Every structure is written in structure tokens, then in C-alpha cells.
């Protein structure tokens, strides 16, 4: 059976998308679905490549028993052929992903979506970037992502 592949994308790949990736993996484990998926995250920007997720996000996630283990990378043209779903955290990154796809890839394999299209509890149209805010912003992002990532998984499983 072919695995379903999912790539979560934000700006720098150190806050929102690695958190979404870890939440998704956590949900897959709880539902006994992990073997059927390939999950990763990336950023549209390149300045954090190789770095761990922001320590404030890792600490906030650990309080929820969610471990963020990924290292930042930048989205590439190959991702449009390697992933079934590419999931953007906000409108700006959604546009950047679409622009990159239009410039570099002729495939229509990847379905590019906004994570907040799968929300059920929170009214946010985008997942806010907590990077320049206080610690409470990281908990808020995790709340929003737990809702929308769960809705996304429900929609494909």
C-alpha cells in the first residue's frame, strides 16, 4: 500500500510547520495510522535551514506531550512530486508555495491547501506566527493547530 505524504509549510520552518508536523505525527500514533504516512515540514524561507524548532515552541509542545524533533529545511521543487499534500499555515506562504510550483514544477501531483480550511473550533483564517510575540503565542498556535490538523487528518483518513 502506498503511503500518504504530507508536508506542512510556514515561513522559517521553526515554529508553526514543525509544530503541525509533530501534532500530526502524534495524532497518527494515537490512531494507529503512522505506518501509512510520510510526514515532514519545510519553510518558504532559507535562513533557519538545519536549525531545531524554536525553543519556545518545543517547550510549549512538550507540556502537551508532543515532541518536535525536525530540523528546518526549505521547500523545493521536488516536494511537488514527493508529497500528496502540501499544507500552508497562512495566505502569504500559500501564495509563495503556489508561485514556486508555477515557476519550477509542471506536475499537479501535490494538492496545496491552507491548514485553516480544516478548522472546526477556532475562527482564525490563518495560523499566526508567534515568533516575535510572547510565550502565550506559542500555546495559542498549538491550540489552533491541534484543531485544524485533526480536521485535516479526519478529511483524508
- SS3 call for 27: helix
Known active-site residue 10:
yes
Cα-only R_g, the chain = 14
For residue 154, indicate whether it is catalytic: no
Instruction: Spot the catalytic one: 10, 79, 90, 147.
Output: 10
* Active site annotation includes 16: yes
- Catalytic residue selected from 15, 16, 90, 147: 16
Task: Report the interhelical angle of 136-156 vs 16-30 (nearest 10°).
Answer: 50
How many whole angstroms separate alpha carbon 92 and alpha carbon 131?
16
**Catalytic residue (choose from 54, 79, 129, 147):** 129
Q: How far is CA 10 from the centre of its chain?
A: 7
The catalytic site residues sit at 10, 16, 129
Amino acid at each position: 500500500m502506498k503511503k500518504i505524504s504530507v508536508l506542512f509549510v510556514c515561513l522559517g520552518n521553526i515554529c508553526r510547520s514543525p509544530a503541525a508536523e509533530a501534532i500530526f505525527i502524534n495524532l497518527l500514533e494515537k490512531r494507529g495510522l503512522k505506518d501509512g504516512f510520510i510526514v515532514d515540514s519545510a519553510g518558504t524561507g532559507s535562513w533557519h535551514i538545519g536549525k531545531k524548532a524554536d525553543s519556545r515552541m518545543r517547550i510549549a509542545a512538550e507540556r502537551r506531550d508532543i515532541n518536535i524533533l525536525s530540523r528546518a529545511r526549505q521547500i523545493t521543487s521536488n516536494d511537488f512530486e514527493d508529497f500528496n499534500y502540501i499544507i500552508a499555515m497562512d495566505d502569504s506562504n500559500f501564495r509563495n508555495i503556489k508561485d514556486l510550483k508555477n515557476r519550477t514544477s509542471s506536475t499537479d501531483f501535490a494538492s496545496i491547501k491552507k491548514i485553516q480550511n480544516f478548522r472546526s473550533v477556532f475562527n482564525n483564517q490563518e495560523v499566526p506566527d508567534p515568533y516575535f510575540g510572547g510565550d502565550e503565542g506559542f500555546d495559542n498556535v498549538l491550540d489552533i493547530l491541534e484543531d485544524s490538523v485533526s480536521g485535516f487528518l479526519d478529511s483524508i483518513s
